[in-house]
Every structure is written in structure tokens, then in C-alpha cells.
Amino acid sequence: MFCLTKNATSVFMTGTNNLRDLHGLLADELAKRIKSGEAAPSDLNVARQFLKDNGIESLPVDDSPLKRLLETLPDPQQVQEFPTQDVPHPSKYPSN
């Protein structure tokens, strides 16, 4: 917590600039990792959430990366479900 003084506007602007700088640094670092191919799955998840939090959305328009990604996914109508077995309640397991 900081005390507001006659320089409160200056303090506020410094804080705003710091947040803007941090936002830019994060975006730059994520872009660098993704472009280099060194992004870990956790980096990609951070990038996804960063875009979502900032209201960035994309539509799969012709010849776009998102459209190409969607085209690689299997048709949901053609995906077969694996048979499942009934799993007993944990209380039915033998105790050690």
C-alpha cells in the first residue's frame, strides 16, 4: 500500500507504465518461445490464457492457421467410443 501525496498522479502513472511494460514483456517472451519451437506445453497454455484474458479470439477463416488445425482433427462423427467397464466404488477394494 502506498500513501497518496501531491504526486499521486505520478505514482499512478508509474504503476500503469509498469503494468503495461510487464504485459508487453510477457507477450514478447511467449511469442519468442513459440516462434523458436522451444515452448513447453505449459508455455502454450499460458499463451492461450493470456489471449483469452485479453479478449483475443480467432475464427477459422480460409487459409488461416486455426482452419488448418481444425482440418487435422478427426471428424467427431467418426470417432469411436471405447467401451468402459464398471469401476467398483473404492469401499469395495480390498484393504491392505
Residue 5 within any structural domain of the chain: no
pLDDT per position as a tens digit, 7-59 = 555 555 567 788 999 999 999 999 999 999 999 999 999 999 999 999 999 89
Residue 25 within any structural domain of the chain: yes
Domain range for 36 is 10-73
Residue 91 within any structural domain of the chain: no
Q: What is the pLDDT of residue 1?
A: 38
Residue 44 within any structural domain of the chain: yes
Residue 28 within any structural domain of the chain: yes
Number of domains, the chain = 1
d(CA 30, CA 2): 32
pLDDT, mean of residues 76-81: 78
d(CA 53, CA 35): 21
27: exposed, middle or buried (Cβ count in 10 Å: 0-12, 13-18, 19+): middle
Q: What is the pLDDT of residue 6?
A: 52
Residue 93 within any structural domain of the chain: no
pLDDT per position as a tens digit, 46-70 = 999 999 999 999 899 999 999 998 8
